Structure formats: structure tokens, C-alpha cells
Amino acid sequence: MSSNINPRKKFTRICFLILALFFLISPRLSANDPDNNETVKTDSAAADHEKVNITKVAFEHILDSHYWHFWGEGHGTVALPLPCIIYSNTKGLQFFSSGVFNHGHDSFGDYSLVEEEIISIDPSEKVYDFSLTKNVMQLFLTAIILFLLFTSIAKAYKKTGVTSAPKGKQSFFEPLITFVRDDIAKTNIGEKSDRFVPYLLTIFFLILINNVLGMLPIGANLTGNIAFTFVLSVITLIVTNVNGNKHYWAHIFAPPVPKALYIMMIPLEIVGIFTKPFALMIRLFANMTAGHIIVISLIGLIFVFDTLWISPISVAFTLFIDVLECLVALLQAYIFTLLTSLFIGSAVADHNEDGVHNADDDKVAAKH
């Protein structure tokens, strides 16, 4: 008879069994032994100091650090010290490991690590920090992954040919590559898209891989770092405006409106040059940072309420947000690449007198 049970019903019964065992065991875990009441009272003060600081854990994950933290708190912390590179106006260039700071509690010579900032005891000494922090190391790691991944795919295509059926890594990444090339680049940029496809593929997979690595408990929140998103948006700003044609600049400095409105429209168009990449920067930064904070906060409910009763709800919501984050990781890479292609397309497209791109004009020009 057991073989005829619906798999869905069987799964439901197992879930109910697990919940029943949890509710039966959890009161015993939280119950106090009458014979040990005095010991519990004497250790209550020490237990209060050992409570997990959820705010600290959240900021350690979303912010940059001179250590690559793996797990643990206090004396049980397991972390990898990273190289420190600083330049002092009095002592010049210096190299040392962040392990000398002992997680910010000690000083190293005239220097201290305070809230992940290396400062000097001497107020007249200026310190410029070029250290290889956690975010920098993950950026290097991502570059190595991209290089090894796509060189191996390129070698496979060179060996088997483009027309052959993709295998292994090719079968997974080829749909993504063709999607960026055909549905993003060619659709929004047009015939001139081939020269921008390498850049669009780079930012798409750079953001995607870092989004995925950032979801790991020991990963760095690189795409949630505003400095990283700022650099990407500045590169998009440069690529867009360097490749802008005469129609693009004419639309900015001679917009298709009555000349009496130029005094208002031209400043707005100039501001628009910078607001578009600014929106790219804020969108990626805010979405990825918010997702990490929500996940950590939901897990932290177990420690905030200091009971196992809340854990089923906390874990269930965390799993839901994690699944949603998997979608957001891909979605944010897609949105950043899509908007970048739209900005580039508006800069390189040919326009008619009304300022609207006309595909028929391109065909006529090609014939002549």
C-alpha cells in the first residue's frame, strides 16, 4: 500500500512529522534543570555578553574589510588576513599583513585599524590606503574565473567548430551569450552593436558572477559596494559619450524645441548625461545590499527572540528570500546591461529631423 501513496502526500506527511518532532523536542531544549538553577543564574550575565550582534554581523557581510571572515566571533573567529598596502607622506610605501592588527584591537607601530580604516597616531602623517581588501580580492577572483571560463569555451569552439552542438559549459553559457548579443545589443544598438558586444558581455557576466558569489555566506558583497557600481557606471558614461555622434550631441545642445526654451532644456539635457549612469549605480547597489540585509535579518530573528520556536518561520522566509535573490542576481545583471545598451544605442543611432531614429534612412543611405 505504501508504494501507491501520492509523492506529494508523502512529502507533506514527512514535513508534518519533522514539525511535530521539533515542537516535542524544543520545550525540552529550553527547559531548565531544577538542580542547576543557581548555575544558570550565575552564568546569565556572561550569556548576555555572548549574544550575537546581528547588526555587526550584517555590516561585516555587506561592508568591505581587511580580513576575509569565514565564521566565528570573538576568540573563535576564523578569518584570513589580507595584504595591507599604504603610502605615508613621511614614511613612503609600506607593505604588511592585516593580521598584525588582530581584528582592530591592537596597533602596529604607529598605525591602528579603526572601523576598517588604517589611521596613524601622528596627526601630521597622512595615510593613503591601497590595501587588497575583501572586495578587491573577490574582484581578482572573478577576473580569474571569467578568464579561465571563457578561454576554455573559446578553445572548445575552436576545436569542435561553431556549427557543432555545444557540450558541457558551452551548453550552459551559449544561450546567455547569444541572448546578450541578439536580444540586448542588436535590439537596442542596431547594426553598430558588434563593437559593443564584448563590453556588454563583460559587465553582464561580471555582475552576475559577483551577485552569485555575494550570496554565499563567506562571499563578499562586491556588487553591493557603491564604489564598484560607481566605476561601472562611469565606464558606461565614458563609452556612451565618446561614441556619441552628431545627432546625439545636437539633441543635447540644440534640442528639437522652440529656441526660447533652450535656456531651460540645455541644462536639463546636460544633467541627463550624468543622471542616467547615476541611476545605474544606485539601482544595482541598493538592490543587492537590501537583499543581503533582509536575509541576515531574518536569520537573526532566532537570536533576537532567543528561542527555537521562531526558527521554522525564520528559515522558511529566509529560503523564500534566497530563491528570490537568485532571480534578482540574474535580473540585476540583465537590467544593468540592458540600460547600458539603451544609453549606447541612443548615442550612436542616426536620427531624422524630428530626432527619431528611422531604420528606412539607414537602408536608403546604404543603397547610395
Q: What per-residue confidence (pLDDT) applies to 42?
A: 40
Both 258 and 329 in one domain: the answer is: yes
Both 264 and 151 in one domain: the answer is: yes
Most confident listed range (8-12, 36-40, 358-362): 8-12
Both 140 and 271 in one domain: the answer is: yes
In a domain, 20, yes or no: no
Both 205 and 191 in one domain: the answer is: yes
In a domain, 34, yes or no: no
Question: Tell me, what DSSP letter sits at residue 67?
Answer: E
Residues 6+ away with beta carbon under 8 Å from 160: 167
Both 290 and 232 in one domain: the answer is: yes
Both 164 and 231 in one domain: the answer is: yes
Confidence of residue 298 (pLDDT cuts 50, 70, 90): confident
In a domain, 143, yes or no: yes
Confidence of residue 124 (pLDDT cuts 50, 70, 90): confident
Both 142 and 125 in one domain: the answer is: no
Nine-digit cell string for 246: 552628431
Query: Is the separation of the CB atoms in 292 and 61 below 8 Å?
Result: yes
pLDDT at 17 over 50: yes
Confidence of residue 7 (pLDDT cuts 50, 70, 90): low
CA distances from 61 to 65, 222, 231, 304 (A): 9, 10, 21, 18
Least confident of 2-16, 24-38, 104-118, 150-164: 24-38
Give the range of the structural domain holding residue 208, as residue numbers without chain letter. 135-355
Indicate the number of domains in the chain: 2
Nine-digit cell string for 179: 541572448
What are the tens digits of pLDDT across the range 310-328?
Answer: 888 888 888 888 888 889 9
What are the tens digits of pLDDT across the range 76-104?
Answer: 678 888 999 999 888 889 888 888 887 55
Confidence of residue 50 (pLDDT cuts 50, 70, 90): low
Both 95 and 107 in one domain: the answer is: yes
In a domain, 13, yes or no: no
Both 76 and 179 in one domain: the answer is: no
What whole-number percentage of the chain has pLDDT above 70?
77
Least confident of 37-41, 143-147, 179-183, 331-335: 37-41
pLDDT at 334 over 80: yes
The more confident residue out of 137 and 298 is: 137
Both 76 and 212 in one domain: the answer is: no
pLDDT at 16 over 70: no
Of the residues 131, 160, 178, the one at which a domain ends: 131
Of the residues 111, 131, 151, the one at which a domain ends: 131
In a domain, 6, yes or no: no
Average pLDDT score over the chain: 79
CA distances from 236 to 38, 98, 179, 332, 335 (A): 65, 34, 20, 16, 13
For residues 181-206, average pLDDT: 93
In a domain, 174, yes or no: yes
Query: Is the separation of the CB atoms in 280 and 236 below 8 Å?
Result: yes
Query: Is the separation of the CB atoms in 193 and 185 below 8 Å?
Result: yes
Both 139 and 58 in one domain: the answer is: no
Confidence of residue 34 (pLDDT cuts 50, 70, 90): very low
In a domain, 44, yes or no: no
pLDDT at 202 over 90: yes
Task: Report the half-sphere exposure of 26 (CA within 13 A, side-chain side).
Answer: 13
Of the residues 131, 163, 178, the one at which a domain ends: 131
Confidence of residue 362 (pLDDT cuts 50, 70, 90): very low
Confidence of residue 162 (pLDDT cuts 50, 70, 90): low
pLDDT at 290 over 60: yes
Show contacts of 26-31: CB within 8 Å, 24+ apart. Answer: 26/307, 26/308, 26/309, 29/308, 30/307, 30/308
In a domain, 153, yes or no: yes
- Torsion region of 355: left, alpha or beta (phi above 0 gives left; psi -120 to 50 gives alpha): left
Both 229 and 99 in one domain: the answer is: no
